[in-house]
Amino acid sequence: MRTLSEVLSETTTAFPERNAIVHQGKTICYRQLDERVDRLARGLIELGVSKGEKVALWMPNMPEWVIAYFAIARIGAVVVPMNTRYKPHEVSYILQNSEATTLFMVDTFVGIDYREMLGKIRGTLPFLKHVIVCGQEGSNTYTFDEITGLGETHLSDGKVAEHATRCNPNDNVFILYTSGTTGNPKGAMLSHHNIAENARQVTKLLHTSEQDIFLLAVPFFHCFGCVMGIMGAITWGASIVPVAVFKAKEALKLIEQERVSIIYGVPTMFVLNLEEYHKGKEDGSAYAVSSLRSGIMAGAPCPTKVMNAVIRELHCNTSIAYGLTEASPVITMTRFDDSVKRRVETVGRALPGIEIEIVDDDRQPLRIGETGELTCRGYNVMLGYYKMPDKTMQVIDGEGWLYSGDLATMDKEGYVKIVGRKKDMLITGGFNVYPAEIEEYLFTYPKAQNVSVVGVDDNVMGEVAVAYVIPRSGATINPQEIVDFCAGKIANFKVPRYVAIVDHLPMTQSGKIQKFLLREKAEQLVSSGMLTKLSPRRR
């Protein structure tokens, strides 16, 4: 068991001159990273930040995020990552709920004025004492360089080492807020050991070494970026190439330029990478991607066609991972020797050290192949929700089992298939319908780039499926052809009765589709008559 600071220190000892971060033409080796972490940690101590205090990070993927991440952890404080697209009321809720005393932020990002936003709410934040800005100087704030310089002045007094020795691997080091699709977001408390061990197990299955270079366009404020990405790379002495905003053309250029070997992303990112790669081949400016060898796809189902193309054309032996914030985050993962069929139809098997079961509504284990709620137990289960003991007791029982809220099946070899969220399940004419089953079939439609299925009330059937479909570039889709494509291929009660052709789906910045917004939109479109109810045409 190790603290996050111990992981960085051990890697620095092993690979001091190995590049830790490569960003916009500049490099930071592990020795330099560890030194900068020390200086910032000492600066935070000088500000008065102590063990257990909450320190929020409101910044895009950049080297300062990584430095602050480890500096906060090194002195025993608690990191509170914040979504870079938050609006004032969301920022206010997270900072108040977490009782953060210190905030790291940028001054601007993608045209958003963070100073202006914070100025609107700062008077309502009684706990917030210090604001540290990566950017220009401003009133009532410190700059990142000021605090680092302050730390360097006092670094020789040994206080950083003293604080680090007080840290325990079982201490809370992260409060990661869930997406809050129902009610206010809940802060999942994760320990050093939760994060360090999950990162190690995940990247061990990728056969990671100090020779690897990670392209990280998944956001650092999400488990995908900060645990599987940052910690996963640093565990083995690999390099990180942070990307603040994902764009396929820029991603492929970086893969070629930096000789990237591991990429992470949601399926949509891989689809866009493939489309850009094909464009390059067609116009004679092909991207060199031979350095790629592996990666992780998570957050949504992956079509077979996409997985085959990623493996064959991008030379990327990609794994599928499944988990949730409360599980630190990964629970199951496919392996290198799993077939493409396994990778697209399942989310793999449990990681070492994690038990999983499929249970019924009474939380009793089900037989192999039966559908129920996925639950897990092991080193990865969170400490609980911050200041929400009642909510914690609802999802973690007395024996340490964490209940995911996801409906799944498991075969005799331990491979898990996610069929939907408990709350997403539809009951159509008395039959249970899992949106993931319909989506899986719709992904095989040649003209569909992305799909999502939700339910809407129906006077006759109780609920029926609504399919949102994004056409592939250059393709045109008529809603009726989607219904006809499903007819006779999936059970009649599963066939969507409404189809919306759209150019985008609402997503969190971590790549998860916000189905609650799609349900709300579907209800509006159906009630206003803007969506027409469809039936399969007779053949």
Mean pLDDT on 127-144: 92
**Statement: residue 512 has pLDDT above 80:** no
Q: What is the pLDDT of residues 208-252, one digit of tens each?
A: 999 999 999 999 999 999 999 999 999 999 999 999 999 999 999
Task: Please state whether beta strands 402-410 and 416-421 pair in parallel, antiparallel, or not at all (unpaired).
Answer: antiparallel
- CA dihedral sign of residues 212, 215, 218, 219: positive
469 has which bridge partners? 451, 501
- Band (pLDDT 50/70/90 cuts) for residue 181 is very low
**Statement: residue 530 has pLDDT above 60:** yes
Which pTM value belongs to this model? 0.84
Q: How far is CA 516 from CA 88, 150, 322, 461, 523, in A?
A: 21, 46, 20, 21, 11
Contact 421, 371 (CB under 8 A): no
DSSP code, position 538: P
pLDDT at residue 46 in the model: 96
pLDDT at residue 385 in the model: 97
Among 34-38, 110-114, 177-181, 498-502, whose mean pLDDT is lowest? 177-181
**Residues 350 and 409 grouped into a single domain:** yes
Q: How many other β-carbons are positioned within 10 Å of the β-carbon of residue 462?
A: 14
Q: How far is CA 527 from CA 413, 422, 453, 524, in A?
A: 46, 25, 18, 5
Amino acid at 136: Q
CATH number of the domain residue 386 falls in: 3.40.50.12780
DSSP code, position 129: -
- CA dihedral sign of residues 236, 237, 241, 245: positive
Instruction: Give the whole-angstrom CA distance, residue 497 versus residue 428.
Output: 11
Residue 332 sits in which domain range? 246-421
pLDDT at residue 303 in the model: 80
**Residues 334 and 443 grouped into a single domain:** no
**SS3 at position 311:** helix
**Residues 10 and 65 grouped into a single domain:** yes
**Residues 183 and 64 grouped into a single domain:** yes
CATH number of the domain residue 448 falls in: 3.30.300.30
Final residue in a domain of this structure, among 421, 446, 478: 421
The answer as to whether 226 is a domain residue is no
- Band (pLDDT 50/70/90 cuts) for residue 33 is very high
Contact 37, 77 (CB under 8 A): no
Mean pLDDT on 475-502: 91
- CA dihedral sign of residues 185, 186, 192, 194: negative
DSSP code, position 367: P
Mean pLDDT computed over every residue of the chain: 93
Angle between helix axes 4-14 and 30-47 (nearest 10 degrees) is 150
Final residue in a domain of this structure, among 174, 192, 210: 192
- Band (pLDDT 50/70/90 cuts) for residue 182 is very low
Instruction: Give the whole-angstrom CA distance, residue 376 versus residue 39.
Output: 39
The answer as to whether 137 is a domain residue is yes
**Statement: residue 299 has pLDDT above 80:** no
Final residue in a domain of this structure, among 404, 421, 438: 421
pLDDT at residue 488 in the model: 81
Among 19-28, 401-410, 483-492, whose mean pLDDT is lowest? 483-492
**Residues 393 and 431 grouped into a single domain:** no
Which strand (E) or helix (H) includes residue 23? strand 19-23
pLDDT at residue 217 in the model: 95
- CA dihedral sign of residues 108, 117, 227, 147: positive
pLDDT at residue 539 in the model: 53
The answer as to whether 233 is a domain residue is no
**Residues 408 and 433 grouped into a single domain:** no
Burial class (CB in 10 A: 0-12, 13-18, 19+), 286: middle
**Statement: residue 180 has pLDDT above 60:** no
**Residues 398 and 449 grouped into a single domain:** no
The answer as to whether 379 is a domain residue is yes
**Residues 350 and 454 grouped into a single domain:** no
Q: Order of strands across the sheet with 19-23?
A: 26-29, 19-23, 239-242, 213-216, 262-265, 294-297, 317-323, 330-333, 349-350
Mean pLDDT on 12-28: 97
**SS3 at position 539:** coil
DSSP code, position 507: B
Q: What is the pLDDT of residues 466-481, one digit of tens each?
A: 999 999 989 999 999 9
Instruction: Give the whole-angstrom CA distance, residue 229 versus residue 222.
Output: 10
The answer as to whether 212 is a domain residue is no
The answer as to whether 532 is a domain residue is no
Instruction: Give the whole-angstrom CA distance, residue 369 versus residue 357.
Output: 11
Burial class (CB in 10 A: 0-12, 13-18, 19+), 80: buried
**Residues 320 and 288 grouped into a single domain:** yes
The answer as to whether 237 is a domain residue is no
DSSP code, position 227: I
**Residues 398 and 384 grouped into a single domain:** yes
**SS3 at position 148:** helix
Provide the domain count of the chain: 3
**Residues 417 and 430 grouped into a single domain:** no
Amino acid at 283: D
Contact 442, 418 (CB under 8 A): no
The answer as to whether 202 is a domain residue is no
**Residues 405 and 518 grouped into a single domain:** no
